[in-house]
Amino acid sequence: MILHKHFDTNEKGHLTIGGMDAVELAKEYGTPAYILDEEVIRENCRAYKKAATDAFGEDALPLYASKALCFTGVYRIAAEEELGVDCVSGGELFTAKKAGFPAERIYFHGNNKTDRDIADAMDMGVGTFVVDNEDELAAVSAEAIRRGITQRILLRITPGIDPHTHRAVITGNVDSKFGSAIATGQAMRIVKKAIAAQGIELAGLHCHIGSQIFDIEPFADAADIMIRFLATIKEECGYHIRELNLGGGLGVRYTEYDRQIDYADAIHRIAAVVKEFCGKSGIPMPRVILEPGRSLVAAAGATLYTVGSVKEIPGFKNYISVDGGMPDNPRYALYQSQYTALIANRATEPREYRATLAGRCCESGDLLGENMEIQKAQRGDILAVLVTGAYNHSMASNYNRLPRPPVIMVKNGEARVAVRRETYEDLVALDQL
Ligand SMILES: *Cc1c(COP(=O)(O)O)cnc(C)c1O
């Protein structure tokens, strides 16, 4: 086992993913390629669903935050595992619709929904809008009135929590671009407007404090603040809020230095504090919604590359260059995210070499990691970066006119193309002049 139980090695000393030889997969599908172990995603969906309903009650619902990894096959898995989904754009809504995902189980997020997004979502019959701000509330209300419908909404609230994660992925602090802060009084103001608004049914509140969080405390603190706020709303407005969406953000093990979180255990611990705080505030348990993205899909993925060159600069550092980079995985360039990499065709050898993993773009910042522990490499080796299921494919670009890699799903010893590799023709398909 390497980090997670579906990453292992075989008798040839090759890396295996879901029991399949990574070197063979690279040969068959080419590199770079994203490999996804479908069973891992399904197991995670089931673990969340079971823990949520056991801990919070039958009506609890985990939503898959689909910005983490978005293509039709993933929405089909979420539908089959009876999760809801969180979509953040017209493009994600369209993909969910194409996959036949039930619209009433979609929660539509985003801090700037355009008029077209709002209309498209209502055309689709999206169950719930998560409204970010007062301008958006007015726009959603106006469109609902125009159509003669009542749109179910949650309001995104910022509880004012610092969850001790990377600055770029904190979202629950008072000065966040997302939501309305309790501390400034803006949250209460938008609640009152939503209660009064025509064409709107205020069903609940939402908060999401950030991503890649390993402690339960920030979630407990957020739940405490949100439940007190529910009680204040009841007192001040006589309005009972039935649904509380606690967001996503549970962390994933990317390297040996990260802990492995037992998600079921984490959910039970969060449920215990929610029940306690509801008891203290004298309000009935709301229906609880959870919104995991990364923790459902990240560990399921690995990216396979071919090594092109090894450059040793005496007295400085060693570079291993691969045939992908920031266009297929921008996370190191964006957040200095740490990964585990290994040479898939010599995976049982100790990782005693130190190298900077460079991509192939004309950009010095195009790195997948620095000072990484890996096996000594040579041109032609297959290099695997593990735990790339979340925020890799969905963040990919065509920078340097590089076609985006395919997504290959493995399950029960078989591999299928879930998203085909982009071609050069695809790259020029939109060009009109
Ligand atoms: C990104 C996001 C999530 C998922 O976060 P993860 O860290 O991937 O679990 C959930 N809810 C909202 C509103 C988000 O923006």
Q: Is the per-residue pLDDT at 347 higher than 80?
A: yes
Cβ(74)–Cβ(66) below 8 Å: yes
Token pair in block for residue 347:
């995976």
Q: Residues lining ligand 1, CB < 6 A? A: 65, 67-68, 86, 109, 208, 211, 247-249, 291-295
* CATH code (residue 343): 2.40.37.10
Tell me which of 63, 154, 294 to substitute to probe ligand 1's pocket, judged by most ligand atoms within 8 Å of the beta carbon. 294
CA distances from 289 to 51, 86, 267 (A): 12, 11, 11
Q: Is the per-residue pLDDT at 97 higher than 80?
A: yes
Interval between CA 68 and ligand 1 midpoint (Å): 8
Question: Sign of the CA dihedral 405, 409, 415, 419?
Answer: negative
| Domain end call among 244, 269, 296 | 296
Interval between CA 337 and ligand 1 midpoint (Å): 17
Residue 390 in domain: yes
CB-side neighbour CA atoms (13 Å) of 298: 24
The pLDDT value recorded for residue 169 is 61
| CA-closest residue to ligand 1 atom 10 | 248
Residue 280 in domain: yes
Residue 216 in domain: yes
Token pair in block for residue 354:
């130190």
User: What is the domain extent for residue 74?
Assistant: 38-296
Residues 380-413: tens digit of each pLDDT: 999 999 999 999 999 999 999 999 999 999 999 9
Return phi, psi of residue 308, to 5°: -105, -35
Residue 415 shares a structural domain with residue 270: no
The pLDDT value recorded for residue 395 is 98
The pLDDT value recorded for residue 172 is 67
| Domain end call among 296, 312, 340 | 296
Residue 138 shares a structural domain with residue 232: yes
Cβ(385)–Cβ(303) below 8 Å: yes
Residue 24 shares a structural domain with residue 59: no
Cβ(49)–Cβ(62) below 8 Å: yes
Residue 113 shares a structural domain with residue 15: no
| CA-closest residue to ligand 1 atom 3 | 248
* CATH code (residue 260): 3.20.20.10
Interval between CA 123 and ligand 1 midpoint (Å): 25
The pLDDT value recorded for residue 202 is 98
The answer to whether residue 362 is catalytic is yes
Residue 207 in domain: yes
| CA-closest residue to ligand 1 atom 13 | 208
Q: How far apart are CA 251 and CA 263, in angstroms?
A: 9
Question: Sign of the CA dihedral 55, 282, 157, 84?
Answer: positive
Residues 278-295: tens digit of each pLDDT: 999 999 999 999 999 999
Interval between CA 315 and ligand 1 midpoint (Å): 42
Q: Which atom of ligand 1 lies closest to the CA of 88?
A: 15
Residue 152's closest CA among 135, 129, 131, 133? 129
Residue 130 in domain: yes
| Domain end call among 270, 296, 322 | 296
Residue 139 shares a structural domain with residue 274: yes
Residue 107 shares a structural domain with residue 169: yes
Tell me which of 74, 207, 208, 337 to substitute to probe ligand 1's pocket, judged by most ligand atoms within 8 Å of the beta carbon. 208
Residues 119-132: tens digit of each pLDDT: 999 999 999 999 99
Q: What is the pTM of this model?
A: 0.96
Residues 250-263: tens digit of each pLDDT: 999 999 999 999 99
Q: How far apart are CA 197 and CA 188, in angstroms?
A: 14
Residue 2 in domain: no
How far separated are the first and last CA of the chain, in Å rounded?
Answer: 52
Residue 55 shares a structural domain with residue 171: yes
When the pLDDT of each residue in the chain is averaged and rounded to a whole number, the result is 96
Residues 11-46: tens digit of each pLDDT: 999 999 999 999 999 999 999 999 999 999 999 999
Cβ(344)–Cβ(13) below 8 Å: no
CA distances from 77 to 96, 109, 259 (A): 11, 20, 27
The pLDDT value recorded for residue 164 is 67
Residue 55 in domain: yes
Residue 175 shares a structural domain with residue 282: yes
Domain tally, the chain: 2
Interval between CA 293 and ligand 1 midpoint (Å): 6
Token pair in block for residue 41:
């995603």
DSSP H or E run through 180: strand 180-181
Residue 1 in domain: no
Active-site residue (options: 87, 237, 361, 362): 362
Residue 345 shares a structural domain with residue 307: yes
